[in-house]
A = this chain, B = another copy of it.
């Protein structure tokens, strides 16, 4: 329709500019850490993201850009930026000229996300088992201890923070910190599903025990065993679609092919 977009060869760079050296190198991590004042769009993005993941905004909820605009006292542009980013994360659906809504949870994607996470955590723990240093083992032990304290205190949020730290530290020990970023991205899809599972009594302490088993296997430098422990640990989250379909039918997007799939397994 428009032009052919052809063109553009080398002379694109009519004038070379020197990205000055003493600048915040676009952090390799996932998201803004630097000292620059957070952009408004980032604030809106993170707030919305948190509320969606925590199911405070349930699937199907309409997102009104204008209302957000007023609530934050900013214009539509940064709000729109945040909305678009969330759309790319598949957390909201933007329907042109109609509205934007919190996305329903695609169960088929949850299933695949669980599989993908398994595969990726397997490699990180394997590499970590092979490469971790003594100090990294000690750090992992410290994280487990912190997690146990939080579990006994019943501080769920701090407990989950320690859980995250443990897995992140394993990836770092395996020199695969970037893969942890990927795992976190995948977990977004799983997280909303997980929030709907009822907290089982004594679960937190069990998790601590499983973490200890993983660390023990790592210390013995037994990669296969470490992978097994990790798989057992992650398998705690199973996909039980029948229950959720009955309880919250409107929260999910059902893939007809998925049913027979899961029944077959």
Contact = CB atoms under 8 A, between A and B. Distances in A.
Contacts of A106: 28
A99 to B, nearest CB: 6
Contact of A120 (B109, B119, B261): B119
A43 interface: yes
Contact of A26 (B2, B103, B176): B103
Interface residues of A, number: 75
A230 to B, nearest CB: 13
Nearest to A9: B56
A3 B72 contact: yes
Nearest to A261: B175
A40 B112 CA distance: 32
B62 A112 contact: no
Interface string A168-211: 00000001111100100010000000000000000000000000
A178 B56 contact: no
Contacts of A255: 28
